[in-house]
């Protein structure tokens, strides 16, 4: 059997032009969040299996790549019929961050503002903008129970996205904001048991794909009482364009939603609005769910017209970290869809490669050039690099025209051919 030259399905090789674009976006992310006081951290790509299967990751827990035990541990598990895997590739960055904070809390500032960029892995069905290995960028504020955390996260993320997308002429996108406590109040008011909320919300999260009738059908198929399903889905028919959090909650019922939840959400929206571009829409969206069951309060998501996926999302998860460290640690975070952002940028760029930010010079050396001449060539290349240029020194090919064409495609704009005098 011969070797296979293509990557595993759902995973990618990246060409130099791809990497230039990816590195450019990563640098913009780092630079933007640094101005808001976020610190860059790193966690391992492998995590304890028990941490990843603690009913915190919603549907993602079904997409885990487990890693088998090694050596004697594996042999004992085989002989005794035990579990063969004890770890797995991480499916997101939030669970590892929770473990990281619990392990390093004593040496971290409070509140702690973290930025994490790294690969995550999901045994998903690959499609456009959706892969089995992909880069995720997370920003989180740990130890802040106030709405300052939500305001900073939304403002910083919209600022970053505005800077990235303005380079390809995109200025309009929408920030959707909701609160899990509103969703829970609605579900409780409709007659659902609290133990079933996660299942209800997972189905509700499909509304943008299957519509309200599809949600109703799936809820009934899942065994929920028809009268509860009808009452619940009727609540969403009361949504009108631009409806405020307070107005919507008053339509649901005075006892369903605590007034402090409305005040909190209104405070976030009113503070963020003057901080972001006027082209960015900031809306209260009662249909926003977010699939992870660990969310406890405010949730948010960002979309761009013309694309059927979100480009960023997150929310408050005040109970997860306490499961690792034994004490309550308030937490709020935003996860940026890095691969989806890259997909949109490449759609807009088309076949045009992302431009280098420095002048690129190619020195093409004839094969008959003497050693003394070569020394002069490298001295010139060194000087040009010291002046801030990108310089490559290559042998001059017989088909120089094709060689120069490929270099131009790679961003080189100046060419110097060197022969013996």
Q: Tell me whether residue 340 is annotated as binding.
A: no
Q: Tell me whether residue 92 is annotated as binding.
A: yes
Spatial neighbors of 106 by CB under 8 A, at least 6 apart, are none
Task: Report residue 24 as tokens.
Answer: 């450019």
**121, 62, 124, 123: which is closest to 92 by C-alpha?**
121
Spatial neighbors of 108 by CB under 8 A, at least 6 apart, are 101, 142
Q: Tell me whether residue 94 is annotated as binding.
A: yes
Q: Tell me whether residue 136 is annotated as binding.
A: yes
Q: Tell me whether residue 307 is annotated as binding.
A: no
Q: Tell me whether residue 392 is annotated as binding.
A: no
Q: Tell me whether residue 93 is annotated as binding.
A: yes
d(CA 60, CA 387): 49
Q: Tell me the chain's radius of gyration from C-alpha atoms.
A: 26
Chain-centre distance of CA 40, in angstroms?
A: 15
Report the SS3 class of residue 80. helix
Strand-strand pairing, 85-89 and 65-68: antiparallel
Write phi, then psi, for 289 (nearest 5 degrees): -115, -50
Strand-strand pairing, 65-68 and 310-316: unpaired
Place of tokens 């990497």: 19
Q: Tell me whether residue 290 is annotated as binding.
A: yes
Q: Tell me whether residue 356 is annotated as binding.
A: no
Residues, the chain:
421
d(CA 419, CA 405): 20
d(CA 242, CA 285): 9
Q: How many CB atoms lie within 10 A of CB 253?
A: 12
Cβ 181 vs Cβ 258: under 8 Å: yes
d(CA 181, CA 122): 29
d(CA 204, CA 214): 9
d(CA 108, CA 117): 19
d(CA 135, CA 21): 13
Annotated binding site: 92-94, 122, 136, 140, 290, 294-295
Annotated binding site for L-histidine: 92-94, 122, 136, 140, 290, 294-295
């Amino acid at each position: 059997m011969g070797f296979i030259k293509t990557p595993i399905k759902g995973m990618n090789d990246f060409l130099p032009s791809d990497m230039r674009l990816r590195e450019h976006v990563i640098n913009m992310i780092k630079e933007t969040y640094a101005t808001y006081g976020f610190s860059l951290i790193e966690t391992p790509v492998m995590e304890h299996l028990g941490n990843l299967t603690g009913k915190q990751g919603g549907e993602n827990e079904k997409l885990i790549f487990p890693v088998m035990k090694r050596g004697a541990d594996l042999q004992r598990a085989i002989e005794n019929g035990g579990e063969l895997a004890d770890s797995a590739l991480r499916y997101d960055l939030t669970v590892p961050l929770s473990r990281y904070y619990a392990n390093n809390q004593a040496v971290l500032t409070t509140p702690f503002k973290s930025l994490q960029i790294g690969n995550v892995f999901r045994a998903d069905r690959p499609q456009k903008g959706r892969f089995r290995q992909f880069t995720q960028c997370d920003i989180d504020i740990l130890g802040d129970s106030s709405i300052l955390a939500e305001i900073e996260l939304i403002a910083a993320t919209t600022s970053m996205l505005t800077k990235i997308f303005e380079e390809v002429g995109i200025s309009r996108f929408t920030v959707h904001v909701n609160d899990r406590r509103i969703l829970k109040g609605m579900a409780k008011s409709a007659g659902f048991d609290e133990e079933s909320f996660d299942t209800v919300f997972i189905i509700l999260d499909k509304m943008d794909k299957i519509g309200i009738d599809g949600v109703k059908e799936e809820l009934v198929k899942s065994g929920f009482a028809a009268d509860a399903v009808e009452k619940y889905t009727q609540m969403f028919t009361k949504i009108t364009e631009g409806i405020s959090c307070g107005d919507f909650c008053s339509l649901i019922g005075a006892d369903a939603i605590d007034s402090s939840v409305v005040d909190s959400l209104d405070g976030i929206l009113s503070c963020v609005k003057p901080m972001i571009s006027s082209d960015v829409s900031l809306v209260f969206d009662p249909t926003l769910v977010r699939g992870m069951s660990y969310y406890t309060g405010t949730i948010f998501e960002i979309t761009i017209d013309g694309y059927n996926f979100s480009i960023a999302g997150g929310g408050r998860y005040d109970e997860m970290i306490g499961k690792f460290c034994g004490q309550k640690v308030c937490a709020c975070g935003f996860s940026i869809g890095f691969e989806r952002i890259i997909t949109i940028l490449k759609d807009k760029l088309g076949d045009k490669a992302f431009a280098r930010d420095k002048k690129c010079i190619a020195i093409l050396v004839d094969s008959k050039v003497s050693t003394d001449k070569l020394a002069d060539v490298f001295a010139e290349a060194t000087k040009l690099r010291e002046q801030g240029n990108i310089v490559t020194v290559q042998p001059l090919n017989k088909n120089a025209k094709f060689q120069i064409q490929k270099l131009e495609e790679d961003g080189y704009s100046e060419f110097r051919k060197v022969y013996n005098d």
